[in-house]
Amino acid sequence: MTIHSEQFELKARLELALTASEKASELILKYYQSPELKVDRKSDDSPVTIADRGAEELLREEITMAFPDDSIMGEELPPVEGSNAFKWILDPIDGTKPFTQGVPLFGTLLGLEENGKLVMGVCRFPALDEVVYAIKGDGAWWKIRDQEPRRARVSEKSQLSDAVFCTTTMTRWETIGKQKAYENLCRNSYLARGWGDCYGHMLVATGRAEVMVDPVLSPWDAAALLPILEEAGGHWIDFDGKPSIYTGNGMAVNDALKDEVLQIIAQN
């Protein structure tokens, strides 16, 4: 396969991901801020709704119709084994808790692996009408409502005292024995906020924050994020500094602050 055909394969899947995530947004918004929305609990006590399940079913149907040989892994439904090198990793609503609370900072995530390496990511925010996306080698892009897409770039801030630090759930830092690291980042950052889940990571990708850390996460929480952050000039890494979505933790960080943040987490 030539480089040209590889890019063609990726761009075809990116177009599908953008279209399918837009359709999923329409489904999700039918339930957003609805007094009729019923919230169930999964075995790990995390919330799930008809919108989560319905959106993932829709995404899978769209992918299967367009690319029937691709594998699919998602948060809500069993995996589907394909017969080629591509594997989709889906999170229909990343931030179900904000979604059920009527807070607009939730997103639909579609990541794509090729031969085990993440090569594409789409993160769409239904309630905000924004999308951030990337394929390897083509940069990261940010589209707001009906505006033309613009390049997504991490900031160049190199001092933690000038940086915005975000995280999803404060209590998880204590769960993994990193409460001191959390306190250190809060004290030494210019601004510390709980703009969490995929929204926080996309703040880093678009230069509106510098550090976003998730002490606990699953592969579908992160698959779309890694290629976006890398194409935006930043990093998606785990607490050991590796670009992995399978080690149970991770962070988005700009290039200038990566080493300092990793040192804070390692020493506390």
- Binding-site residue set for Mg(2+): 75, 91, 93-94, 221
Report angle CA 38, 41, 45 to the nearest 5 degrees: 150
- Asked whether the beta carbons of 187 and 141 are under 8 A apart, the reply is no
Work out the number of other CB atoms within 10 angstroms of the CB of residue 121. 31
CA angle 256, 214, 160 (to 5 degrees): 30
> Do the strands 140-144 and 164-167 form a parallel or antiparallel pair, or are they unpaired?
unpaired
Evaluate whether 205 touches 140 at the Cβ level (below 8 Å).
yes
Hey, which residues does 54 pair with through a beta bridge? none
Extract the annotated binding site: 75, 91, 93-94, 221
Using CB atoms within 10 A of its CB, is residue 150 exposed (0-12), middle (13-18) or buried (19+)? exposed
Chain CA centroid to CA 105, Å: 12
Tokens of 157: 């801030």
DSSP per residue over 72-122, as a string?
EEESSS--B--SSSEEEEEEEEE-HHHHHTT-S--EEEEEEEETTEEEEEE
Grouping H, G, I as helix, E, B as strand and the rest as coil, residue 259 is helix
